[in-house]
Chain A
């Protein structure tokens, strides 16, 4: 018996309406496309999905990274507590091996091996942190930004255990005394809550670029991943780019162009 595509869709539709009803309930419960037919990006035309492309070849000196990190941490009142135990960071650098564990090889170019790579929250399409939060203090906006409500967070740190990217920091003590200057445009935090990069949601809503992107001199691109004509999509369409821990299926929105234009 052969079955053509049309029939298949009909049968599939009926099955979905009847038998698979239980699955759709589960799907709703999990609040995200658990039963998705394909793992390719959804090309919703009306819906925005903010994304970032970091062109690592454009970061040349230590100063290039510092500018970006400082712009972020100043904008968001991220304190420098001076010790790794209490450390809070929204964007930072580490080696290739630590940024992309398992992707390193024995004979990598020294330049690549020791090059710093920027890391920040990936604003995953399927964020495990949102899935585990018991109070919805961390949630995903319709435009894909994973946000924190510092006033609802109970400080259980389940999200920190769930995030495979180490993107989240906890306020082990009152962070305010460690702030050298306070940006009144963004709230400071209290002890006992989790925080992380928010893709500068407040700036985006005003039509501005994220602070890090603005400070990066074109080394970081930001835009709508659902718009084929956006700058980020054009960059991704013409360069080889990778994401962190792609195999976990969280679908990060932050991409890295590793080789630069000449190696694409």
Chain B
């Protein structure tokens, strides 16, 4: 099955070559960071996490969102998801890969990464985050591969896969809950110290992940003979709409608590992000772009007439994805560090090498995704008229 990765059209190889080029740039930038230290980033004593950790957080959500396909298909026997569920599982694998790489590039002493396992520390949420992410990667690799190779060989997947599939459901919830707990349990970081953070994370994940999947499914249909299914895509659109509505609602709850109580510590990060604080407003334009895209895409998605038009649906999903990418992949982390523990404002903006390293990680993610999708598409094309049995 894996050999399908090595055969492809000229377009396929051009795409893989392009990704390899970006990866090369990323690796070169990373070597620079490895030699000099994290001082090449825009990070500082006051804003000590930035783009890398933001992207880790965002892509944990993308990974967790595979559960939005697994639940309907395996728990509710929603047959329409039969063909697309593999795309969700493989997306999860690529997303977790991206997460682990973003943790890695953020470390000051990457060669000591095994210390996390050599000196296991259960009171540290980061220990649990590493554990659940690796577990989730393993689960999706095994499940995705076992089910797809069963289709390939034209039979049922082995019996032991089912319990793993059921386990992957709470496991998906756990990866994003644990990621939220990285932030939500820190005293003195008002922006993150909120019980709704994990719920908000899950809501945004279940909107952003499936939105990306819709776009990917439409691309897959365009570039191959495999059709993930019009109805499946429409159902995903509904899932995106509900989850995005919840996400915006949860953000509204945060705003109410902060601004009705008027407790300065609670309002400051929101003021910094949306209007600027003490004359510092570097993130304001981005946050408004995010808000406008969120409201705009939600307005479109809420109307079934628009949603049923796949071109409109695609545009709405891309807008929604960018909105969440800004909000969660960037603003959420920086906002937690502003103001600093001394009520001062230090701003952060990624540097070029930092951005290139991030590009390298995204490209690795896309490369993994393309390779996995290539396998899935090839198998689906070969077994197009066979009814799935799992």
Counting CB contacts under 8 A, is A43 at the interface?
no
Given A153-B109, A166-B340 in contact, is the A248-B187 Cβ separation under 8 Å?
yes
Give chain A's interface residues, CB within 8 Å of chain B. Answer: 29-31, 84-88, 94, 97-99, 101-102, 128, 131-137, 152-158, 160-166, 169-174, 190-194, 245, 248-250
Whether A134 pairs with B124 at a CB distance below 8 angstroms is yes
Which of B45-53, B286-294, B297-305 participates in binding chain A? B45-53
Q: 3 closest A-B pairs (Cβ-Cβ)?
A: A155-B108, A164-B188, A192-B108
With A31-B123, A135-B116 as given contacts, are A165 and B341 in contact (CB-CB < 8 Å)? yes
Q: Which residues of A contact B39 (CB under 8 A)?
A: 85-86, 172-173, 191
Measuring CB to CB, which residues of chain B are less than 8 angstroms from any residue of chain A? 36-39, 43-46, 48-49, 103, 106-110, 112-113, 115-116, 118-119, 121-127, 130, 182-183, 186-189, 264-265, 336-337, 340-344, 346
Q: Nearest chain-B residue to A151 (Cβ)?
A: B112
For chain A, what secondary structure do more than half of its interface residues adopt (helix, strand, loop), or is it mixed? Answer: loop
Residue of B43, B112, B116, B130 with highest tally of chain A CB at under 10 A = B112
A102, A131, A165, A192 — most chain B CB neighbours (10 Å): A192
Q: Is the CB of A29 within 8 A of B122?
A: yes
B124 touches A158 (CB 8 A): yes
CA A37 to CA B336, docked complex, whole Å: 32
Task: Kindly state the separation between the CA atoms of A169 and B187 in the bound complex, as whole angstroms.
Answer: 18
| Shortest beta-carbon distance from A249 to chain B in Å | 7
Which residue of B43, B44, B121 is within 8 Å of A135 (Cβ)?
A: B121
- Which residues of B have CB within 8 Å of A87? 44-45
For residue B346, which residue of chain A has the nearest CB? A84
Cβ 8 A contact of B187, one of A29, A156, A250: A250
Which of the residues B43, B44, B108, B346 comes within 8 Å of A154, measured between beta carbons? B108
A191's nearest neighbour on chain B, judged by CB, is B37
- Tell me the complex Cα distance, A202–B121, Å: 26
Given contacts A156-B126, A166-B341, A174-B37, contact A134 B121 (CB under 8 A): yes
Known: A94-B342, A132-B125. A160 touches B48 (CB 8 A): yes
Question: Smallest CB-CB separation from A83: which chain B residue?
Answer: B44
CA–CA, A66 and B121, complex, Å: 39
**Subset of 8 A-B contacts with CB under 8 Å:** A97-B343, A98-B343, A101-B341, A133-B121, A155-B107, A156-B107, A163-B341, A173-B37
Distance in Å from the Cβ of A100 to the closest Cβ of chain B? 10
Q: Is the CB of A170 within 8 A of B342?
A: no
Contacts of B107 in A (CB 8 A): 154-156, 192
**B115 pairs with A137, CB closer than 8 A:** yes
How distant is B313 from chain A, measured CB to nearest CB, in Å? 38
CA of A40 to CA of B103, assembled, Å: 39
Is A173 a contact partner of B36 (Cβ separation < 8 A)? yes
Kindly list chain A residues whose C-beta atoms are within 8 Å of the C-beta of B115.
134-135, 137, 152, 154
Which chain B residue lies CB-closest to A135?
A: B115
How far is B336's CA from A162's CA once the two chains are assembled, in angstroms? 11
Q: Which residues of the partner chain B approach A160 to less than 8 Å between Cβ atoms?
A: 45, 48
